[in-house]
Amino acid sequence: MASKEEIRSSHRSRRAALTQASLETAGAGIARHGLRWASSLAGPRDGTFALYLGVGSEPPTMPLLRTLHEAGHRVLLPVCEPGLELSWVYWAPESEFVRGRYAPVQEPAGTRHGVAVMRGVDGIVLPATALDLTGNRIGQGGGYYDRFLASLAGVLSEAGTRHTTGPLPTAAVVYDDEVLPAGSIPAEPFDRSVAAALTPGGLLRLGKARGTG
């Protein structure tokens, strides 16, 4: 079995070779399938979703951000804080982005909210460089999202949580060929699996959720 770093490096190299046309096509597919997923979770009302900004050769998420906003949903984007913590800022098309202080990423400017804001969220869209059909995820290597996902259980058990039918739905965004066979990604105790892969080609249920629609 390849190590996480070997898989991450290989996929980053392939991503770097993508053309602008390929990125635009991927962004359109992610937006289309992401909106369908979000609509299935929010139902007839406007929902709230935590996402991130994909940049460079990463799967583009800006089309999805705009599509969700146009559909009436609220969007939260992360800000990296000390100690591998994330805070969250509500995003709109006019929002300003600034260079992150603690990570080399673009982050939204605005009022920051702690993890408790997730009590009002319908679903979470995560970054990844690879997924396997078991639901194991390889992120960017910083550890922010594993720590964030681990912190959710206590927050979501409190009163006022919008999503009450089970774990908060999660989907990680990758290209179609970055969804690997079950067991391809080594799982460590601190890793947190995800429920679905959101790709330009569609939404694929992972792990125990496979085959449920």
Q: What domains can you pick out in the chain, each with its CATH number?
A: 4-209 (3.40.50.10420)
Q: Is 202 annotated as a binding residue?
A: no
Model-level pTM greater than 0.75? yes
Query: What CA–CA distance (Å, rounded) separates 209 from 75?
Result: 25
> What per-residue confidence (pLDDT) applies to 211?
38
Higher pLDDT, 140 or 111: 111
State the average pLDDT for the chain: 90
The SS3 call for residue 42 is helix
Higher pLDDT, 116 or 187: 116
Q: Is 106 annotated as a binding residue?
A: no
Q: Is 142 annotated as a binding residue?
A: yes
> What per-residue confidence (pLDDT) applies to 213?
32
Q: Is 4 annotated as a binding residue?
A: yes
Q: Is 5 annotated as a binding residue?
A: yes
Res. 189 pLDDT band, cuts 50 70 90: confident
Q: Is 143 annotated as a binding residue?
A: yes
Stretch 23-32: mean pLDDT, rounded? 98
The SS3 call for residue 24 is helix
Q: Is 30 annotated as a binding residue?
A: no
Instruction: Give yes or no for residue 162 having a pLDDT over 70.
Output: no
Which of 35-39, 164-168, 205-209 is least confident? 164-168
Distances (CA, A) of 151 to 42, 161, 192: 23, 14, 11
Stretch 7-17: mean pLDDT, rounded? 96
Q: Is 53 annotated as a binding residue?
A: yes
Q: Is 83 annotated as a binding residue?
A: no
Contact, 66 vs 77, CB < 8 A? no
Q: Is 138 annotated as a binding residue?
A: yes
User: CB count, 10 Å around CB of 187?
Assistant: 15
The two three-digit tokens of residue 7, written as one number: 């898989």
Nearest to 103 by CA among 128, 140, 150: 140
Q: Is 140 annotated as a binding residue?
A: yes
Q: Is 6 annotated as a binding residue?
A: yes
Q: Is 86 annotated as a binding residue?
A: no
Res. 61 pLDDT band, cuts 50 70 90: very high
